[in-house]
Amino acid sequence: MIKKIRKYIEEVQFEMKKVSWPTWDELKGSTYVVLSFSVLIAIFLFIADLILNKILSIIL
């Protein structure tokens, strides 16, 4: 059991050396894109909910 765990950890370390990590500027840029997109989607869903609520209240 210990040998399997040790082998697993060694393989994880080997694979992590292959990973290309983003630079700080790339990370900040991606974060801004995700936050902006999330805000836009939230606004869209809020407006769609208001419109559908008004339509449903008129129908009922």
Domain region containing 58: 21-60
* Mean pLDDT, rounded, for 26-44: 97
Residue 6 lies in a domain: no
- For the chain, the C-alpha Rg in angstroms (whole number) is 24
Residue 47 CA to residue 53 CA, distance in Å, equals 10
Mean pLDDT of 9-28: 94
Residue 55 lies in a domain: yes
pTM above 0.75, yes or no: no
Rounded Cα gap, residues 34 and 41, in angstroms: 11
List all residues 6 or more positions away from 30 whose beta carbon is below 8 Å from its beta carbon: 22
Amino acid at 13: Q
Provide, rounded to the nearest whole percent, the portion of the chain with pLDDT above 90. 93
Asked if the structure places residue 8 within a domain, the reply is no
Read off the pLDDT of each residue in 43-59 and give the average, rounded to a whole number. Answer: 96
Domain annotation covers residue 45: yes
pLDDT of 60 higher than 90: no
* pLDDT at residue 24, rounded to an integer: 95
